[in-house]
Amino acid sequence: MTVPAVDAMPVDETHDPALRSWVASANGHSDFPIQNLPLGIFSVAEDTPRPGVAIGDAILDLAGCADANILPPPFAEICRAPTLNALMALAPADRRRLRAWLSRMLSDAQVGAGAGLASMLHDAAACTMHLPARIGDYTDFYVGIHHANNVGRQFRPDNPLLPNYKYVPIGYHGRASSIRPSGEPLVRPRGQQRVGDAAAPVFGPTERLDYELELAVWIGEGNRLGEPIAIDDAARHIAGLSLFNDWSARDLQAWEYQPLGPFLAKNFHSSVSPWVVTMEALAPFRVAQPPRPEGDPAPLPYLLDPADQARGALAITLEVSIVTAAMRAAGAAPFRLSRGPATNMYWTIAQMVAHHASNGCNLNPGDLLGTGTISAPTRDGFGSLLEISGGGRTPVQLDNGETRSFVEDGDEIVMRAVASAGDYIPIGFGECRAVVTSAPSAIREGSSASP
Protein backbone atom coordinates (compact mmCIF):
# COMPACT_ATOMS: atom_id res chain seq x y z
CA MET A 1 0.00 0.00 0.00
CA THR A 2 1.39 3.42 -0.88
CA VAL A 3 2.03 6.11 1.71
CA PRO A 4 -0.52 8.95 1.40
CA ALA A 5 1.02 11.75 -0.65
CA VAL A 6 0.25 14.48 1.87
CA ASP A 7 2.50 12.76 4.45
CA ALA A 8 5.43 13.34 2.10
CA MET A 9 4.99 17.12 2.37
CA PRO A 10 4.72 18.15 6.02
CA VAL A 11 4.94 21.69 7.29
CA ASP A 12 8.13 21.91 9.37
CA GLU A 13 10.67 24.31 10.84
CA THR A 14 11.76 25.52 7.38
CA HIS A 15 8.35 27.21 7.01
CA ASP A 16 8.53 29.04 10.36
CA PRO A 17 7.31 32.63 9.76
CA ALA A 18 9.85 33.86 12.33
CA LEU A 19 12.79 32.44 10.38
CA ARG A 20 15.25 35.06 9.09
CA SER A 21 18.33 34.84 6.89
CA TRP A 22 21.75 36.44 7.27
CA VAL A 23 21.38 37.22 3.56
CA ALA A 24 19.76 40.57 4.28
CA SER A 25 17.87 40.91 0.97
CA ALA A 26 15.95 37.70 1.70
CA ASN A 27 14.11 39.18 4.68
CA GLY A 28 10.88 40.62 3.39
CA HIS A 29 11.68 39.61 -0.21
CA SER A 30 8.50 39.38 -2.29
CA ASP A 31 9.57 36.18 -4.05
CA PHE A 32 12.54 34.50 -2.41
CA PRO A 33 12.54 34.70 1.40
CA ILE A 34 14.28 31.91 3.27
CA GLN A 35 10.96 30.06 3.48
CA ASN A 36 11.09 29.48 -0.31
CA LEU A 37 14.55 28.27 -1.44
CA PRO A 38 13.63 27.44 -5.07
CA LEU A 39 16.03 25.57 -7.32
CA GLY A 40 17.31 26.70 -10.71
CA ILE A 41 20.18 26.46 -13.18
CA PHE A 42 22.35 29.57 -13.54
CA SER A 43 25.68 30.70 -14.92
CA VAL A 44 28.01 33.61 -14.34
CA ALA A 45 29.63 35.15 -17.43
CA GLU A 46 30.78 32.24 -19.62
CA ASP A 47 30.92 29.67 -16.84
CA THR A 48 29.21 26.29 -17.11
CA PRO A 49 25.55 26.29 -16.02
CA ARG A 50 25.06 24.77 -12.58
CA PRO A 51 22.42 24.37 -9.85
CA GLY A 52 21.65 27.24 -7.54
CA VAL A 53 19.16 28.34 -4.89
CA ALA A 54 17.46 31.74 -4.95
CA ILE A 55 17.78 33.58 -1.65
CA GLY A 56 16.63 37.20 -1.76
CA ASP A 57 18.53 39.04 -4.49
CA ALA A 58 21.29 36.41 -4.52
CA ILE A 59 21.89 32.89 -5.82
CA LEU A 60 23.67 30.30 -3.71
CA ASP A 61 26.00 28.21 -5.87
CA LEU A 62 25.25 24.56 -5.06
CA ALA A 63 28.07 23.32 -7.27
CA GLY A 64 30.43 25.55 -5.30
CA CYS A 65 29.11 24.02 -2.09
CA ALA A 66 29.77 20.57 -3.51
CA ASP A 67 33.31 21.51 -4.53
CA ALA A 68 33.94 22.89 -1.04
CA ASN A 69 32.82 19.56 0.45
CA ILE A 70 30.19 21.16 2.68
CA LEU A 71 27.11 19.54 1.13
CA PRO A 72 25.79 16.39 2.81
CA PRO A 73 27.47 13.47 0.93
CA PRO A 74 24.52 12.13 -1.10
CA PHE A 75 23.93 15.52 -2.75
CA ALA A 76 27.41 16.55 -3.85
CA GLU A 77 27.56 14.87 -7.25
CA ILE A 78 24.05 15.73 -8.40
CA CYS A 79 24.62 19.37 -7.43
CA ARG A 80 27.47 19.55 -9.94
CA ALA A 81 25.19 18.56 -12.84
CA PRO A 82 24.19 21.15 -15.49
CA THR A 83 20.48 20.33 -15.04
CA LEU A 84 18.13 19.66 -12.11
CA ASN A 85 16.96 16.27 -13.39
CA ALA A 86 18.86 14.26 -10.76
CA LEU A 87 17.78 16.62 -7.97
CA MET A 88 14.18 16.33 -9.12
CA ALA A 89 14.44 12.53 -9.05
CA LEU A 90 15.24 12.49 -5.33
CA ALA A 91 12.70 10.95 -2.99
CA PRO A 92 10.70 13.57 -1.05
CA ALA A 93 12.50 12.64 2.18
CA ASP A 94 15.87 13.39 0.56
CA ARG A 95 14.60 16.68 -0.89
CA ARG A 96 13.41 17.64 2.61
CA ARG A 97 16.83 16.80 4.02
CA LEU A 98 18.55 19.05 1.47
CA ARG A 99 16.01 21.80 2.13
CA ALA A 100 16.59 21.54 5.91
CA TRP A 101 20.36 21.82 5.39
CA LEU A 102 19.95 24.90 3.18
CA SER A 103 17.56 26.50 5.65
CA ARG A 104 19.97 26.00 8.53
CA MET A 105 22.98 27.22 6.59
CA LEU A 106 21.20 30.36 5.38
CA SER A 107 19.50 31.21 8.68
CA ASP A 108 22.35 30.62 11.13
CA ALA A 109 24.96 33.29 10.44
CA GLN A 110 27.64 31.50 12.47
CA VAL A 111 27.13 28.17 10.70
CA GLY A 112 26.90 29.82 7.28
CA ALA A 113 30.05 31.87 7.85
CA GLY A 114 31.93 28.86 9.15
CA ALA A 115 31.09 26.99 5.97
CA GLY A 116 32.17 29.92 3.78
CA LEU A 117 28.76 30.35 2.20
CA ALA A 118 29.16 34.09 1.69
CA SER A 119 31.78 33.45 -0.97
CA MET A 120 29.34 31.20 -2.82
CA LEU A 121 26.65 33.83 -3.24
CA HIS A 122 26.21 35.59 -6.58
CA ASP A 123 24.25 38.71 -7.41
CA ALA A 124 21.20 37.36 -9.24
CA ALA A 125 21.09 40.41 -11.52
CA ALA A 126 24.54 39.49 -12.86
CA CYS A 127 23.62 35.88 -13.58
CA THR A 128 22.02 34.18 -16.58
CA MET A 129 19.22 31.72 -15.94
CA HIS A 130 18.73 28.57 -18.03
CA LEU A 131 16.07 25.90 -18.39
CA PRO A 132 15.85 24.12 -15.03
CA ALA A 133 15.88 20.63 -16.51
CA ARG A 134 16.47 18.62 -19.64
CA ILE A 135 12.84 18.24 -20.69
CA GLY A 136 12.34 14.84 -22.26
CA ASP A 137 8.59 15.17 -22.73
CA TYR A 138 5.98 17.88 -22.35
CA THR A 139 2.21 17.45 -22.00
CA ASP A 140 -0.25 20.33 -21.81
CA PHE A 141 -3.49 19.83 -19.92
CA TYR A 142 -6.77 21.76 -19.99
CA VAL A 143 -7.76 21.83 -16.31
CA GLY A 144 -8.89 25.47 -16.13
CA ILE A 145 -12.64 24.96 -16.38
CA HIS A 146 -13.47 28.66 -16.73
CA HIS A 147 -11.07 28.92 -19.68
CA ALA A 148 -12.65 25.81 -21.22
CA ASN A 149 -16.11 27.32 -20.77
CA ASN A 150 -15.10 30.75 -22.10
CA VAL A 151 -13.46 29.37 -25.21
CA GLY A 152 -16.15 26.76 -25.74
CA ARG A 153 -18.88 29.42 -25.71
CA GLN A 154 -17.21 31.19 -28.63
CA PHE A 155 -17.73 28.09 -30.76
CA ARG A 156 -20.61 26.26 -29.03
CA PRO A 157 -22.69 28.85 -27.15
CA ASP A 158 -25.27 26.33 -25.96
CA ASN A 159 -22.84 23.52 -25.10
CA PRO A 160 -19.38 24.94 -24.30
CA LEU A 161 -17.97 21.82 -22.60
CA LEU A 162 -17.76 18.51 -24.40
CA PRO A 163 -19.18 15.53 -22.43
CA ASN A 164 -15.78 14.08 -21.51
CA TYR A 165 -14.40 17.22 -19.80
CA LYS A 166 -15.73 16.41 -16.33
CA TYR A 167 -14.54 12.81 -16.49
CA VAL A 168 -11.10 13.11 -18.12
CA PRO A 169 -8.22 15.50 -17.39
CA ILE A 170 -7.88 16.50 -21.06
CA GLY A 171 -4.38 16.97 -22.45
CA TYR A 172 -2.22 16.74 -25.55
CA HIS A 173 1.42 15.92 -26.15
CA GLY A 174 3.37 19.11 -26.89
CA ARG A 175 6.80 20.00 -28.19
CA ALA A 176 9.58 19.88 -25.57
CA SER A 177 12.33 21.25 -27.82
CA SER A 178 10.71 24.69 -28.18
CA ILE A 179 10.28 25.38 -24.46
CA ARG A 180 12.48 28.32 -23.54
CA PRO A 181 13.41 30.06 -20.28
CA SER A 182 11.91 33.36 -19.25
CA GLY A 183 13.48 36.33 -21.00
CA GLU A 184 14.11 34.69 -24.35
CA PRO A 185 12.31 36.59 -27.16
CA LEU A 186 9.54 34.91 -29.10
CA VAL A 187 9.58 35.05 -32.90
CA ARG A 188 6.08 35.52 -34.30
CA PRO A 189 5.18 32.20 -35.93
CA ARG A 190 3.96 31.71 -39.48
CA GLY A 191 1.47 29.18 -40.71
CA GLN A 192 -1.72 28.45 -42.58
CA GLN A 193 -4.83 30.42 -41.68
CA ARG A 194 -8.22 30.81 -43.25
CA VAL A 195 -9.32 34.41 -43.77
CA GLY A 196 -13.07 34.99 -43.61
CA ASP A 197 -15.04 32.73 -45.94
CA ALA A 198 -12.18 32.21 -48.40
CA ALA A 199 -12.17 28.75 -49.95
CA ALA A 200 -8.42 28.31 -49.55
CA PRO A 201 -6.07 29.24 -46.68
CA VAL A 202 -3.14 31.63 -46.88
CA PHE A 203 0.32 31.25 -45.35
CA GLY A 204 1.83 34.04 -43.29
CA PRO A 205 2.53 35.44 -39.80
CA THR A 206 -0.16 34.85 -37.21
CA GLU A 207 -2.38 37.87 -36.59
CA ARG A 208 -3.94 36.41 -33.43
CA LEU A 209 -0.96 35.66 -31.20
CA ASP A 210 -2.02 34.93 -27.63
CA TYR A 211 -0.56 34.00 -24.27
CA GLU A 212 -1.86 31.37 -21.84
CA LEU A 213 -1.41 31.79 -18.08
CA GLU A 214 -0.42 28.38 -16.69
CA LEU A 215 1.59 26.56 -14.07
CA ALA A 216 4.37 24.16 -15.05
CA VAL A 217 4.41 20.90 -13.10
CA TRP A 218 7.86 19.29 -12.96
CA ILE A 219 7.97 15.51 -12.64
CA GLY A 220 10.30 14.17 -9.97
CA GLU A 221 10.61 10.44 -9.48
CA GLY A 222 9.30 8.65 -12.56
CA ASN A 223 7.55 5.32 -13.09
CA ARG A 224 8.34 2.27 -15.17
CA LEU A 225 6.57 1.67 -18.47
CA GLY A 226 3.42 -0.34 -17.80
CA GLU A 227 3.26 0.61 -14.10
CA PRO A 228 0.64 3.31 -13.42
CA ILE A 229 0.99 5.87 -10.63
CA ALA A 230 -1.76 5.59 -8.02
CA ILE A 231 -3.64 8.77 -7.18
CA ASP A 232 -2.68 8.51 -3.49
CA ASP A 233 1.00 8.29 -4.51
CA ALA A 234 0.97 10.88 -7.31
CA ALA A 235 2.08 13.89 -5.24
CA ARG A 236 5.33 12.08 -4.42
CA HIS A 237 6.19 12.16 -8.13
CA ILE A 238 5.94 15.97 -8.38
CA ALA A 239 9.17 17.88 -7.76
CA GLY A 240 7.86 21.43 -7.97
CA LEU A 241 6.15 24.15 -9.96
CA SER A 242 7.09 27.07 -12.19
CA LEU A 243 5.14 29.64 -14.19
CA PHE A 244 4.35 28.71 -17.76
CA ASN A 245 3.20 30.62 -20.84
CA ASP A 246 1.99 28.28 -23.58
CA TRP A 247 1.95 30.79 -26.44
CA SER A 248 -0.76 30.14 -29.02
CA ALA A 249 -1.51 31.30 -32.57
CA ARG A 250 -5.31 31.36 -32.50
CA ASP A 251 -5.86 31.79 -36.24
CA LEU A 252 -3.55 28.90 -37.07
CA GLN A 253 -5.22 26.87 -34.35
CA ALA A 254 -8.73 27.47 -35.69
CA TRP A 255 -7.72 26.12 -39.12
CA GLU A 256 -5.62 23.13 -38.16
CA TYR A 257 -6.99 21.73 -34.89
CA GLN A 258 -9.53 19.36 -36.46
CA PRO A 259 -9.37 16.39 -36.55
CA LEU A 260 -6.24 15.73 -34.44
CA GLY A 261 -5.93 18.80 -32.20
CA PRO A 262 -3.07 21.28 -31.51
CA PHE A 263 -0.03 21.27 -33.78
CA LEU A 264 1.87 24.23 -35.29
CA ALA A 265 -0.35 26.73 -33.48
CA LYS A 266 1.15 25.56 -30.19
CA ASN A 267 4.64 24.16 -30.74
CA PHE A 268 6.62 27.24 -31.83
CA HIS A 269 7.55 28.57 -28.36
CA SER A 270 6.55 28.10 -24.73
CA SER A 271 8.08 30.19 -21.92
CA VAL A 272 8.83 28.83 -18.45
CA SER A 273 10.07 30.70 -15.38
CA PRO A 274 13.56 29.55 -14.36
CA TRP A 275 12.97 28.86 -10.66
CA VAL A 276 11.38 25.60 -9.51
CA VAL A 277 9.38 26.22 -6.34
CA THR A 278 9.58 22.83 -4.67
CA MET A 279 6.55 20.96 -3.37
CA GLU A 280 8.26 20.99 0.03
CA ALA A 281 8.23 24.81 -0.01
CA LEU A 282 4.56 24.77 -1.01
CA ALA A 283 3.46 22.52 1.88
CA PRO A 284 1.78 25.35 3.87
CA PHE A 285 -0.14 26.48 0.79
CA ARG A 286 -1.94 23.25 -0.04
CA VAL A 287 -5.68 23.68 0.42
CA ALA A 288 -8.88 21.77 -0.24
CA GLN A 289 -9.90 21.22 -3.83
CA PRO A 290 -13.08 23.28 -4.36
CA PRO A 291 -16.19 21.08 -4.38
CA ARG A 292 -17.59 20.28 -7.78
CA PRO A 293 -20.83 22.03 -8.76
CA GLU A 294 -24.01 20.17 -7.92
CA GLY A 295 -24.79 17.63 -10.61
CA ASP A 296 -21.18 17.17 -11.73
CA PRO A 297 -19.96 13.55 -11.67
CA ALA A 298 -17.46 12.45 -9.04
CA PRO A 299 -14.04 11.54 -10.41
CA LEU A 300 -13.67 7.88 -11.31
CA PRO A 301 -12.06 5.83 -8.49
CA TYR A 302 -8.56 5.88 -10.01
CA LEU A 303 -8.65 9.70 -9.81
CA LEU A 304 -10.28 10.07 -6.41
CA ASP A 305 -8.28 10.25 -3.19
CA PRO A 306 -9.77 11.89 -0.06
CA ALA A 307 -6.38 13.25 1.02
CA ASP A 308 -5.83 14.86 -2.39
CA GLN A 309 -9.30 16.40 -2.27
CA ALA A 310 -8.52 17.73 1.21
CA ARG A 311 -5.12 19.25 0.40
CA GLY A 312 -4.47 18.84 -3.31
CA ALA A 313 -5.27 22.38 -4.48
CA LEU A 314 -2.88 25.33 -4.24
CA ALA A 315 -3.32 28.73 -2.58
CA ILE A 316 -1.48 30.51 -5.39
CA THR A 317 -2.55 33.79 -6.99
CA LEU A 318 -1.44 34.30 -10.59
CA GLU A 319 -1.37 37.47 -12.63
CA VAL A 320 -0.36 38.56 -16.11
CA SER A 321 0.68 42.02 -17.33
CA ILE A 322 1.68 43.61 -20.61
CA VAL A 323 4.38 46.14 -21.49
CA THR A 324 4.02 47.49 -25.03
CA ALA A 325 6.87 49.04 -26.99
CA ALA A 326 5.33 52.49 -26.43
CA MET A 327 5.02 51.85 -22.69
CA ARG A 328 8.62 50.68 -22.52
CA ALA A 329 9.84 53.80 -24.33
CA ALA A 330 7.88 55.99 -21.92
CA GLY A 331 9.12 54.10 -18.86
CA ALA A 332 5.52 53.20 -17.95
CA ALA A 333 4.70 50.46 -15.44
CA PRO A 334 3.29 47.17 -16.74
CA PHE A 335 -0.48 47.09 -17.28
CA ARG A 336 -2.15 44.22 -15.44
CA LEU A 337 -4.44 42.23 -17.71
CA SER A 338 -5.77 39.73 -15.20
CA ARG A 339 -5.36 38.20 -11.75
CA GLY A 340 -6.89 35.08 -10.22
CA PRO A 341 -6.39 32.01 -8.01
CA ALA A 342 -5.01 28.61 -9.01
CA THR A 343 -7.95 27.03 -7.16
CA ASN A 344 -9.88 27.58 -10.40
CA MET A 345 -8.33 24.34 -11.65
CA TYR A 346 -11.02 21.65 -12.07
CA TRP A 347 -8.47 18.85 -11.59
CA THR A 348 -5.57 18.76 -9.10
CA ILE A 349 -1.97 18.35 -10.19
CA ALA A 350 -1.97 14.89 -8.59
CA GLN A 351 -4.96 13.92 -10.74
CA MET A 352 -3.07 15.15 -13.82
CA VAL A 353 -0.11 12.92 -12.96
CA ALA A 354 -2.23 9.89 -12.07
CA HIS A 355 -4.26 10.14 -15.25
CA HIS A 356 -1.17 10.65 -17.43
CA ALA A 357 0.36 7.43 -16.11
CA SER A 358 -2.91 5.49 -15.79
CA ASN A 359 -2.39 3.66 -19.09
CA GLY A 360 1.16 2.69 -18.11
CA CYS A 361 2.83 5.69 -19.74
CA ASN A 362 6.25 6.19 -18.16
CA LEU A 363 7.05 9.65 -16.81
CA ASN A 364 10.67 10.68 -16.23
CA PRO A 365 12.41 13.19 -13.95
CA GLY A 366 12.34 16.59 -15.61
CA ASP A 367 9.24 15.93 -17.72
CA LEU A 368 6.97 18.96 -17.76
CA LEU A 369 3.18 19.13 -17.52
CA GLY A 370 1.34 22.37 -18.26
CA THR A 371 -1.91 22.90 -16.38
CA GLY A 372 -3.60 24.63 -19.28
CA THR A 373 -4.89 28.18 -19.01
CA ILE A 374 -6.06 29.08 -15.52
CA SER A 375 -8.94 31.56 -15.70
CA ALA A 376 -11.36 32.98 -13.17
CA PRO A 377 -15.13 33.27 -13.68
CA THR A 378 -14.93 37.01 -14.46
CA ARG A 379 -13.05 39.03 -17.09
CA ASP A 380 -10.55 40.46 -14.58
CA GLY A 381 -9.28 36.91 -14.05
CA PHE A 382 -9.29 35.54 -17.59
CA GLY A 383 -5.98 33.87 -18.48
CA SER A 384 -5.72 34.72 -22.19
CA LEU A 385 -6.47 37.59 -24.55
CA LEU A 386 -8.79 35.32 -26.53
CA GLU A 387 -11.08 35.40 -23.51
CA ILE A 388 -10.46 38.98 -22.37
CA SER A 389 -11.13 40.43 -25.83
CA GLY A 390 -14.00 38.06 -26.60
CA GLY A 391 -12.20 36.61 -29.60
CA GLY A 392 -11.03 40.08 -30.67
CA ARG A 393 -14.46 41.71 -30.59
CA THR A 394 -13.82 43.78 -27.41
CA PRO A 395 -10.22 45.05 -27.35
CA VAL A 396 -8.52 45.80 -24.03
CA GLN A 397 -8.05 49.53 -23.34
CA LEU A 398 -4.58 50.19 -21.88
CA ASP A 399 -3.77 53.17 -19.63
CA ASN A 400 -1.79 54.93 -22.37
CA GLY A 401 -4.68 54.80 -24.85
CA GLU A 402 -3.45 51.76 -26.81
CA THR A 403 -5.74 48.80 -27.31
CA ARG A 404 -5.04 45.12 -27.65
CA SER A 405 -7.10 42.24 -29.00
CA PHE A 406 -4.05 40.01 -29.39
CA VAL A 407 -0.31 40.32 -28.76
CA GLU A 408 1.57 42.62 -31.14
CA ASP A 409 5.26 42.84 -32.05
CA GLY A 410 7.22 44.66 -29.35
CA ASP A 411 4.79 43.61 -26.62
CA GLU A 412 6.19 41.89 -23.56
CA ILE A 413 3.98 39.57 -21.54
CA VAL A 414 4.95 39.24 -17.87
CA MET A 415 3.54 36.57 -15.54
CA ARG A 416 3.95 36.43 -11.77
CA ALA A 417 2.55 34.33 -8.94
CA VAL A 418 2.60 34.23 -5.16
CA ALA A 419 1.60 31.51 -2.70
CA SER A 420 0.03 32.80 0.50
CA ALA A 421 -2.00 31.33 3.35
CA GLY A 422 -2.69 32.30 6.96
CA ASP A 423 0.29 33.59 8.89
CA TYR A 424 2.88 31.88 6.71
CA ILE A 425 5.41 34.01 4.85
CA PRO A 426 4.25 34.35 1.21
CA ILE A 427 6.59 32.92 -1.40
CA GLY A 428 6.82 33.89 -5.06
CA PHE A 429 7.78 32.32 -8.36
CA GLY A 430 9.81 35.14 -9.92
CA GLU A 431 8.80 36.16 -13.42
CA CYS A 432 7.95 34.43 -16.67
CA ARG A 433 8.36 37.02 -19.43
CA ALA A 434 9.06 37.29 -23.14
CA VAL A 435 9.05 40.01 -25.81
CA VAL A 436 7.47 39.28 -29.18
CA THR A 437 9.57 40.01 -32.25
CA SER A 438 9.51 39.30 -35.97
CA ALA A 439 13.31 38.97 -36.13
CA PRO A 440 14.69 35.41 -35.71
CA SER A 441 18.12 36.85 -34.93
CA ALA A 442 16.76 37.97 -31.55
CA ILE A 443 16.80 34.39 -30.28
CA ARG A 444 19.68 33.34 -28.04
CA GLU A 445 19.72 29.56 -27.97
CA GLY A 446 19.18 28.01 -24.57
CA SER A 447 19.57 31.06 -22.34
CA SER A 448 17.62 33.97 -20.98
CA ALA A 449 17.89 37.37 -19.44
CA SER A 450 18.83 37.56 -15.80
CA PRO A 451 16.01 36.94 -13.30
Domain locations in the chain? 5-130, 138-442
Average pLDDT estimate for 424-431: 98
Tens-place pLDDT, residues 49-99: 999 999 999 999 999 999 999 998 889 999 999 999 999 999 999 999 999
CB 349 within 8 A of CB 221: no
Side chain identity, residue 212: E
Predicted TM-score (pTM) of this structure: 0.94
Does residue 147 have an active-site annotation? yes
Counting residues of the chain whose pLDDT is more than 70, the rounded percentage is: 96
For 395, left (φ over 0), alpha (ψ -120 to 50), or beta?
A: beta
Quickly state the pLDDT bin for 153 (edges 50, 70, 90). confident
Predicted confidence (pLDDT) at residue 43 exceeds the cutoff of 60: yes
Radius of gyration of the chain (CA): 22
**Which position has the higher pLDDT, 9 or 138?**
138
CATH architecture classification, 5-130: Roll (2.30)
pLDDT at 8: 67
Higher confidence at residue 440 or residue 241?
241
Which of the residues 15, 130, 146, 147 is marked catalytic? 147
Taking the CB of residue 285, how many other CB atoms lie within 10 A of it? 23
Distance (Å, rounded) from C-alpha 336 to C-alpha 296?
33
Domain 138-442 CATH (choose: 3.90.470.10, 3.90.850.10, 3.40.50.300, 3.40.50.620): 3.90.850.10
Residue 181 has pLDDT above 50, yes or no: yes
Q: 451: pLDDT confidence band, cut at 50, 70 and 90? A: very low
Assess whether pLDDT exceeds 90 at residue 12.
Answer: yes
The long-range contacts involving 120-123, CB below 8 angstroms and separated by at least 24 positions, are 120/60, 120/61, 120/64, 120/65, 120/68, 121/23, 121/55, 121/58, 121/59, 121/60, 121/61, 122/42, 122/44, 122/52, 122/58, 122/59, 122/61, 123/57, 123/58, 123/59
In terms of pLDDT, which residue wins out, 262 or 309?
A: 309
Mean pLDDT on 437-448:
56
Q: What is the DSSP string of 295-343?
A: TPPPPPGGG--HHHHHH-EE-EEEEEEEE-HHHHHHTPPPEEEEEEEGG
Q: What is the pLDDT of residues 311-354, one digit of tens each?
A: 999 999 999 999 999 999 999 999 999 999 999 999 999 999 99
Looking at residue 276, what is its pLDDT? Answer: 98
pLDDT above 60: residue 444: no
Q: What is the mean pLDDT of residues 184-201?
A: 92
338-396, pLDDT tens digit by residue?
A: 999 999 999 999 999 999 999 999 999 999 999 999 999 999 999 999 999 999 999 99
Helix, strand or coil, per DSSP, at residue 144:
strand
Span 149-166, mean pLDDT?
A: 81
